[in-house]
Amino acid sequence: MNCIPMSFLENKTVLITGATSGIGRAATIAIAAQGAQIILLARNSERAAQLLAELPGKGHLFFLCDMLSIGEIKIVSERIKQSVSKLDILINNAGTWFSERQLTSEGQERTFVVNYLAYLQLSLQMKDLLLQSQHPQIINTASFYHKQTFNVNDIQIQHSYSMSRAYALSKLYVILITRELARRWQADQIVVNCFDPGSVNSNFGRGQGGWIEPFLRLQKRLFGKKPLAGAKPLIYLASSIPDLAVTGQYFQDTHMAKPSKSAQNDLHAAQLWDYSVELLQKINTLVPLQ
């Protein structure tokens, strides 16, 4: 993958979730500074407005969207399609964790939805716009913390739930679906990769960690990177020419790395795809377009 001059992102359209804080915010500002048009999806309109006011350039867009709702993502996706004619880069970066296992209004485990299923839903919804780009790519936020065992019979952790396990599994799913989408969409010349930001000192998951949250915050303050450092691989991927020979990969810093053995298992990736697509089809059929 060849990093090229800053002008590569000039006039590119980039959609990003999870952009109002942490690595998403740092990456959004850096990408906009290279001449890209930014489309923000966020659930906090005040934070989104503050970010938009700081972005260099013009023509940036904001859509209010809660990543806990697959149906809402579908509705907002239709509005995006009416607003732009192409999408060059989709950055799936939204993420959180929850101390207790609870379901969304659509009946799915919350961490699973925000950190993983929303990524797939948005990728599928944006495919037509990506196909209008000369160099389309999807960049997903994964994590070194993904080292869990895949269980096709308990994907949403109905048994033995913990905050850390739910988060780790969601990141395993991100790596697996990155591989599967890359394989399925290679003929469409859509490059799909993911990256590990490392441990970052940010507001990620604030207010959701229960009794353990103060300890997590202290750990991040002592050992965490600054958001811009965590965003380095994301900015690198977005600023590089997508290479069809480098797709379905997991990046740390600016280099490809090997994830866990479970994350490299193509059977697991296919099983996760089948489960997820069937689930999305059920949810999406219940959503009236507005």
- Does residue 221 sit within a domain? yes
- Does residue 56 sit within a domain? yes
- Does residue 84 sit within a domain? yes
Task: Count CB neighbours of 184 within 10 A.
Answer: 15
- Does residue 289 sit within a domain? no
User: Which residues touch 58 (CB under 8 Å, ≥6 apart)?
Assistant: none
- What DSSP string describes the chain? --B--GGGGTT-EEEEES-SSHHHHHHHHHHHHTTPEEEEEES-HHHHHHHHHH-SSS--EEEE--TT-HHHHHHHHHHHHHH-S--SEEEE------SS--B-TTSSBHHHIIIIIHHHHHHHHHHHHHTTSSS-EEEEE--GGG-----TT-TT--SS--HHHHHHHHHHHHHHHHHHHHHHHTTTT-EEEEEE--SB-S-TTTT-SGGGHHHHHHHHHHHPBPHHHHTHHHHHHHTB---TTS-S-EEETTEEE---TGGG-HHHHHHHHHHHHHHHHHHHTT----
Residue-wise pLDDT for 52-97, tens only, equals 999 999 999 999 999 999 999 999 999 999 999 999 999 999 999 8
Q: Which domain does 120 fall in, by range?
A: 6-284
Question: Residue 67: left if φ>0, alpha if ψ -120 to 50, beta else—which one?
Answer: alpha
Q: Give the pLDDT confidence score for residue 286 in this predicted structure.
A: 73
- Does residue 251 sit within a domain? yes
- Does residue 151 sit within a domain? yes
Residue-wise pLDDT for 149-206, tens only, equals 999 999 999 999 999 999 999 999 999 999 999 999 999 999 999 999 987 654 544 4
Q: Percentage of the chain with pLDDT > 90?
A: 82
> Which of the residues are catalytic?
167
Q: What is the pTM of this model?
A: 0.91
CATH number at residue 165: 3.40.50.720
Q: Is 222 exposed, middle or buried (0-12, 13-18, 19+ CB in 10 A)?
A: exposed
- Does residue 1 sit within a domain? no
- Does residue 290 sit within a domain? no
Instruction: Output the average pLDDT for the chain.
Output: 91
Q: How many domains does the chain have?
A: 1
More confident residue, 73 or 223: 73
